[in-house]
């Protein structure tokens, strides 16, 4: 009887695990109820905040007027935070959380996500990430004929399931050899300072290998070596994916004097250029200290509490806001 009970429990556990791993959950965000539009602010003109709305901001170019050569135009220096990208972090390969939980079969096998308990009682995890082009201000036509906005439709731009380096530590280190420099205790200990800075404002670009309180930017793959919570691990992978795409010249710089006339190459991510908001499983629209977006690296202990739950609440979708400085004016 004891043997029968044990075997039945093992079979039930295996079937339950298999069922959970293959299930896909998600939701297409409602622009009215699931997005915190306050994250667009502050709006600045000539370096002066016009509508700060209590939101955090980075520095802006000094002066009021600006000129651009290609195409020729004269304008006013402006700054704002533009929602431009959406990111899925999922345990189930090809599960598109942001598309309502649709799972596709593209014929290329990818490993399932997991959270592993180590012998020293620490946890490690692995997730897949999907990267979407999402210039929501443009395709919702909230702002019309604004030359500073990114244009284009909502589209899937990157799947880690078809990236062989995302699941392979050795291949990742060969492609990004600087990973060896930041995998030691001294380099990781320096990230404590980045955590403090990100918790009170924006993180430090001097510590570019750190993701603040969330962990390390390196390696550029889906293995989280220090899994504290689902929200912390998924937030880390949002930042890691952004840094990876900067290194591959698929993401560009948009801030400062260099960004007034267009985007420019930025192989090392500027962490102060981004802040993000959770869309799924529980949209982060409730303000904490007047804010519902957080800079890269900020601790998830406060804003992430209660935003993950078993089974249907362990896959995530985030909206990324990117700082944009632009010369807004008349072209010739």
For the chain, percent of residues with pLDDT exceeding 70: 92
Compute the C-alpha angle 164/170/176, nearest 5°.
85
**Residue recorded with tokens 């036509």:** 141
Task: Return the domain boundaries, the chain.
Answer: 24-331
**pLDDT band for position 71 (cuts 50, 70, 90):** confident
Dihedral sign for Cα 134, 230, 226, 291, please.
positive
Query: Dihedral through CA 131, CA 137, CA 138, CA 143, nearest 10?
Result: -170
**pLDDT band for position 283 (cuts 50, 70, 90):** very high
In this prediction, residue 70 carries a pLDDT of 81
In this prediction, residue 329 carries a pLDDT of 86
Rounded Cα distance between 212 and 191, Å, is 6
Residue among 291, 66, 62, 298 nearest 198 (CA): 298
Contact by Cβ (8 Å): 264, 238:
no
Q: Is the pTM of this model over 0.75?
A: yes
In this prediction, residue 22 carries a pLDDT of 65
Q: Which residues pair with 72 in a beta bridge?
A: 69
Lowest-confidence range among 46-55, 124-133, 163-172, 271-280?
A: 46-55
Q: Alpha helices, DSSP H only, in the chain?
A: 2-22, 136-139, 169-175, 185-189, 191-200, 230-247, 300-303
In this prediction, residue 253 carries a pLDDT of 97
- For residue 274, CA distances in Å to 145, 221, 298 come to 24, 20, 12
**Residue recorded with tokens 């431009």:** 84
Helix (H, G, I), strand (E, B) or coil at 68: strand
Contacts of 281 (CB under 8 A, 6+ apart): 25, 27, 307, 308, 309, 312, 313, 315, 316
In this prediction, residue 77 carries a pLDDT of 96
pLDDT at position 217 over 50: yes
């Amino acid at each position: 009887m004891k043997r029968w009970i044990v075997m039945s429990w093992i079979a039930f556990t295996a079937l339950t695990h298999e069922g959970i791993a293959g299930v896909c959950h998600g939701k297409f965000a409602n622009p009215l109820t699931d997005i915190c539009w306050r994250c667009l602010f502050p709006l600045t003109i000539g370096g002066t905040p016009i509508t700060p709305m209590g939101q955090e901001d980075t520095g802006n170019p000094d002066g009021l007027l600006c000129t651009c050569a290609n195409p020729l135009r004269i304008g006013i220096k402006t700054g704002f935070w533009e929602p431009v990208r959406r990111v899925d972090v999922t345990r189930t390969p090809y599960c598109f959380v942001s598309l309502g939980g649709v799972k596709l079969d593209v014929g290329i096998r990818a490993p399932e996500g997991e959270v592993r308990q180590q012998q020293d009682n620490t946890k490690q995890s692995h997730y897949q990430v999907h990267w979407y082009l999402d210039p929501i201000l443009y395709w919702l036509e909230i702002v019309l004929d604004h030359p500073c906005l990114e244009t284009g439709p909502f589209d899937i731009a990157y799947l880690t399931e078809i990236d062989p380096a995302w699941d392979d530590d050795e291949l990742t280190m060969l492609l990004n050899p600087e990973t060896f420099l930041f995998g030691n205790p001294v380099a990781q200990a320096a990230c404590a300072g980045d955590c403090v800075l990100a918790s009170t404002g924006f993180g430090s670009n001097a510590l570019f290998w750190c993701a603040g309180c969330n962990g390390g930017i390196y390696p550029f793959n889906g293995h989280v070596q220090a899994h504290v919570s689902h929200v912390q691990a998924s937030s880390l992978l949002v930042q890691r994916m952004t840094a990876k795409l900067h290194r591959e010249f698929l993401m560009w710089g948009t801030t400062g004097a260099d960004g007034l006339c267009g985007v420019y190459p930025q192989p090392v991510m500027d962490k102060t250029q981004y802040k993000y908001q959770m869309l799924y499983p529980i949209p982060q629209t409730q303000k904490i200290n007047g804010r519902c977006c957080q800079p890269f690296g900020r601790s998830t202990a406060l804003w992430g509490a209660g935003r993950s739950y078993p089974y249907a609440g362990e896959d995530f979708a985030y909206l990324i806001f990117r700082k944009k400085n632009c010369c807004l004016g008349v072209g010739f």
